Amino acid sequence: MRFAMQPRERATGGSALPRQQSLVLPAVINPFVRELQLSTPRLLRCFLLGLFLVPLRCLCLLLVLLLAWPLTVVATFLHPLKGTVEPMTGWRRFLCQIVVVGLGRLVFFFMGFRVTVQGRHASSVEAPILAVAPHSSYFDAIVCIVAGLPSTVSRAENLAVPIFGRFLRCFQPVLVSRLDPDSRRNTILEIERRATSGGRWPQPKVGELPVNTQISICRPDANDQPGLAEEA
């Protein structure tokens, strides 16, 4: 009994799987790894920029932080973060929403980021919850600055971090405590209260994508850890 070979088999020498002719595994390109080949002029330019530009950027960042920190101290002085919390108004709101946001843009500018916004940022009345994806560590801070300091979810311990804990207070975050067994439930209720405030509160920022028909609300600084997620 004889069978006629298909055109694909003729092109590969009679075998439909050319890999079987060799024991060496084919090279698989990893999409998460970029092999960068730099020429000598490019390496020289990187060296010169690192020698002069990096110290200049660090100096500018230090100056902006030294200017912004006293302003955040004044804006958040004696402003409660627990209990019946109300959104900032008046001069506090001006310092946080205008001055601190402007200085935050300067920080990312000196870091080398050129942020471009396409489209229009929906207000809290149109979009009560701001979903941010993918969750990418410190890149979330760029979204917070561009979106005008939305309400975030953070650990209560983060407020004790020197300097940056005071910046975090400007967001009026929803605090999560591991020591409180009702903390997760209270977090869900607080996010729901702010999202349904009719525009009084900034948009709560959720660092996850929707899951089925519900929203997975997780702590942005501790995603993908068991026991730290709830559904609302």
Reply yes or no on whether the pLDDT at 219 is more than 50.
no
Q: Is 17 helix (H, G, I), strand (E, B) or coil?
A: coil
Distances (CA, A) of 42 to 35, 47, 48: 15, 9, 10
pLDDT band at 215 (very low <50, low <70, confident <90, very high): very low
Tell me which of 53 and 10 has the higher pLDDT.
Answer: 53
Burial call 49-66: b when 16+ CB within 10 Å, e when fewer: eeeeeeeeeeeebeebee
Which residue's structure tokens are 């008046």? Answer: 90
pTM confidence score: 0.66
Residue 19 falls inside a structural domain: no
Query: Which range in 8-22, 38-52, 170-184 is most confidently predicted, on average pLDDT?
Result: 38-52
Domain count, the chain: 1
- The rounded distance, in Å, linking the Cα atoms of 232 and 228 is 13
Residue 57 counted as domain residue: yes
CA distance 53 to 41: 17
How is 21-45 classified by DSSP, letter by letter? Answer: G-SSPPP---TT-------HHHHHH
Q: Say if residues 121 and 147 touch (Cβ distance below 8 Å).
A: yes
Contact in structure between 104 and 94 (CB atoms under 8 Å)? no
Residue range(s) defining the domain that contains residue 216: 47-231
Which percentage of the chain shows pLDDT scores above 70? 75
